[in-house]
Structures are given as structure tokens and as C-alpha cells.
């Protein structure tokens, strides 16, 4: 009982330390193998750093589900690493149940060349460019990105803002080779853990949406079954919007990853958007109880980009 009360008091204390009205937050996380983690009102994300390289991570985006706009990144890490309470279990605030592996994950960069999807490893360097209560802009650099037999440098600048689930990604690829480079397409990718039946694409507003069982990962499902007595944790929602992408009848799928891409000219800045949410999320006024609710909201946002 004392341990339970201590845990509750600790989490309340962490929440109380958050600035009133703050809706966006992010930081470098050296205590968890160089993660870079951030969150907006709708969801939390992380990308993997150099200390995780021996585990063969990707440059994909990981997703943490949130029950409300409350900031959770610091409390999730503290709970996992200081209290021994895995963030893969939902204790009421949300959970990490998304499996990235060596994929683009939840809206990570998709590079397509020679009819193949190319995935990089962890980032080499990070930099926070701007941060306040309503907006975060940070940059990650990747020194050796394999693309069709070439090694390229990737710079991705991500901006998360309050009031929208969509993060903005601005990408620049460079390569020392000056000739014989293959045609390259860039965009965002969504790894499909669940059925293709829940992949939605609207070519008119370039919106690619996906909904899946939040506990599609068997490890997370078992952990929640043991703690919560159930493997039901609702549905995860993911979206990618590429305003410059040509309209297609259906999205392209490579190795289980759905991508929306557009032609890319080396050295230029390419922009796309990605975001996520949970069907158990609510800010008191808005929520997305069904797949169609998420799809419609993303289409409305995409039409304004």
C-alpha cells in the first residue's frame, strides 16, 4: 500500500511541475539510450539515437498513446526507469504499445528508389531549434543513409504545434555523388501491424490514414493482460499527408509499409506531415471514438495545407 501511495504521489508531483497551459514538449533523453522524445496534445513520439545503434533501430517514428492533452513524456520515462513500471502498460494516462522495429513506424521518412523502400538507422546528432509552451522545432541528422548503393546525409526538421495532431517534417537529402543517382521519391510511411482493411486514402487532399488494434504487438498485449486483465486497449490512429504527392488510386505498399511519396530533387527541402491519436483520447470537447472520425478530421486538416 505504501508503494502504491508513493507511486501516485510521484506521478502527481511530476504533473504539478508542468507549466500551466503547456501543450507541446520535447527533449533529448540520454537516460534511455539517446531517444529524442516529444509530444503535442494528441500523442507522444520518439526517434532513436546513437546509443541504441547496437539494437539495429531505424529512423522511424515511435508512438505513445495519450488519454488526454496532459504532458506524459517525463512521467512515462520516470515511471519506467525509476519506479520499474513499464510504459507498455496502461495505468490510466496512456501507454507505449507501438512496435517500430526496422521500419518507418508511425509516419517516419519514406525513401523510395529502384522500386524499393530504404530505411536508415538511428540519428547521429540532434538540436532543438525552438521551444515554448505551444511549439517545438528540432532537427535530427543522419550521416549514413543507404539508398540504392549510395550513402546519403539526411537532415529532418520536425515541428510540433498545439492545436493540431499533425507534425510538420522538412527533409533535405544530400549525396557526394554527382551523377548516376537513381530517381528518388520522398514522403511518409506507416507500418501496417494490422489489417489493410483499415487503411484509408483520399487522393484529393493527399491524406493517408490508418487505424489498428492498439495492442497488435503481442508483447504489449500480454503485459496489459497480466496487469489489466484484458488485451483490449482500443485503437491507434495514424496519418500521413504529403501535399506535393501525385494522386494515386491506392497507396504504395513496400514490405508491409504504406507510403505516400512525391518526386524529390536532391538538396532541396521536402515537406510532409504526420500525426497520431488514440480512440480513448479526449480533450473534453473533441475525441475520435471511431476510425471514420479520425479519417474525417485528418482530411479536413489536409485540405487546409
267-295 confidence digits (pLDDT tens)? 999 999 999 999 999 999 999 999 999 99
Q: Where are the domains of the chain?
A: 2-302
- When pLDDT is cut at 50, 70 and 90, the band that residue 228 belongs to is confident
9: confidence class by pLDDT, cuts 50, 70, 90: very low
Predicted local confidence at residue 19, as pLDDT: 62
227, 240 contact by CB (below 8 A): no
Length of the chain equals 305
Residues 6 or more apart in contact with residue 8 via CB below 8 angstroms: none
pLDDT at 18: 56
- pLDDT, mean over the chain: 92
Residue-wise pLDDT tens digits, 78-106: 999 999 999 999 999 999 999 999 999 99
Give residue for cell 489498428. 212
Residue 161 has pLDDT above 90, yes or no: yes
User: Does residue 254 have a pLDDT over 50?
Assistant: yes
d(CA 110, CA 181) in angstroms, rounded, equals: 17
CB 160 within 8 A of CB 40: yes
Q: CA dist 164 to 31, 39, 159, 218, 277, Å?
A: 29, 11, 11, 30, 11
Is the CATH number 2.70.98 carried by domain 2-302?
yes
Q: How many CB atoms lie within 10 A of CB 161?
A: 17
Give the separation between CA 112 and CA 275, rounded to whole angstroms: 21
Distances (CA, A) of 131 to 138, 168, 195: 8, 15, 37
**What pLDDT does residue 2 have?**
32
Q: What is the pLDDT of residue 8?
A: 41
Q: State the pTM of this model.
A: 0.93
* pLDDT bucket at 5, cuts 50 / 70 / 90: very low
Amino acid at each position: 500500500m505504501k508503494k502504491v501511495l508513493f507511486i501516485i504521489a510521484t506521478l502527481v508531483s511530476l504533473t504539478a511541475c508542468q507549466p500551466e497551459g503547456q501543450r507541446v514538449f520535447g527533449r533529448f533523453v540520454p537516460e534511455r539510450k539517446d531517444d529524442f522524445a516529444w509530444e503535442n496534445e494528441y500523442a507522444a513520439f520518439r526517434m532513436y539515437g546513437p546509443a541504441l545503434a547496437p539494437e539495429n533501430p531505424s529512423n522511424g517514428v515511435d508512438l505513445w498513446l495519450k488519454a488526454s492533452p496532459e504532458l506524459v513524456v517525463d512521467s512515462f520515462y520516470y515511471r519506467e526507469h525509476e519506479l520499474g513500471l513499464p510504459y507498455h502498460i496502461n495505468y490510466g494516462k496512456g501507454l507505449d504499445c507501438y512496435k517500430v522495429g526496422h521500419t518507418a513506424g508511425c509516419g517516419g521518412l519514406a525513401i523510395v528508389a529502384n522500386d524499393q523502400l530504404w530505411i536508415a538507422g538511428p540519428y547521429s546528432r540532434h538540436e532543438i531549434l525552438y521551444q515554448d509552451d505551444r511549439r517545438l522545432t528540432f532537427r535530427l541528422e543522419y550521416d549514413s543513409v543507404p539508398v540504392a548503393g549510395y550513402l546519403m546525409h539526411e537532415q529532418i526538421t520536425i515541428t510540433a504545434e498545439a492545436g493540431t495532431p499533425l507534425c510538420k517534417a522538412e527533409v533535405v537529402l544530400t549525396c557526394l555523388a554527382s551523377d548516376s543517382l537513381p530517381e528518388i521519391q520522398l514522403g511518409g510511411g506507416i507500418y501496417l501491424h494490422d489489417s489493410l482493411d483499415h487503411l484509408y486514402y483520399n487522393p484529393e487532399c493527399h491524406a493517408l490514414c490508418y487505424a489498428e488494434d492498439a495492442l497488435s504487438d503481442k508483447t504489449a498485449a500480454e503485459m496489459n493482460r497480466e496487469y489489466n486483465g484484458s488485451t483490449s486497449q482500443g485503437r491507434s490512429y495514424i496519418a500521413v499527408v504529403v501535399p506535393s504527392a501525385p494522386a494515386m488510386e491506392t497507396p504504395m505498399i513496400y514490405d508491409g509499409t504504406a507510403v505516400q511519396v512525391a518526386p524529390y530533387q536532391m538538396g532541396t527541402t521536402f515537406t510532409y506531415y504526420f500525426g497520431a491519436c488514440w480512440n480513448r483520447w479526449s480533450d473534453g470537447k473533441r475525441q475520435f471514438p471511431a476510425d471514420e472520425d479520425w479519417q474525417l478530421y485528418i482530411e479536413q486538416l489536409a485540405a487546409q495545407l
